[in-house]
Amino acid sequence: MNLTIRNVPKDVVERLRARAARNQRSLQEELLGIIETAAREPAPGDLAALHADVRRLGLTRTSEATAMIRADRDSR
């Protein structure tokens, strides 16, 4: 299957080309890798993925999760 993205700003294309070069890939391979990674991420509201993340992080109390969310938000 083919996918076309139109009107990509020149600076974005140049950054993607540089990223591909750093990863020793063609631009096509780099873009496919980015898309595959994005497609594997859980959809917003995916409770099963959220539950798995909570278990992986070892969170046991709401306050722990709240602190992590605040720290993430404050780092932006």
Each residue of 9-35: pLDDT tens digit?
999 999 999 999 999 999 999 999 999
Nearest Cα to Cα of residue 33 among 16, 14, 46, 49: 16
Q: Which residue has the higher pLDDT, 74 or 46?
A: 74
Q: What gap in Å lies between CA 66 and CA 60, rounded to an integer?
A: 11
Q: What gap in Å lies between CA 23 and CA 63, rounded to an integer?
A: 39
Q: What does the domain layout of the chain look like in residue ranges?
A: 10-40, 44-76
Each residue of 56-70: pLDDT tens digit?
888 778 788 788 788
Q: What gap in Å lies between CA 33 and CA 28, rounded to an integer?
A: 9
pTM attached to this predicted model = 0.55
Q: What gap in Å lies between CA 76 and CA 62, rounded to an integer?
A: 22
Q: What gap in Å lies between CA 30 and CA 19, rounded to an integer?
A: 8
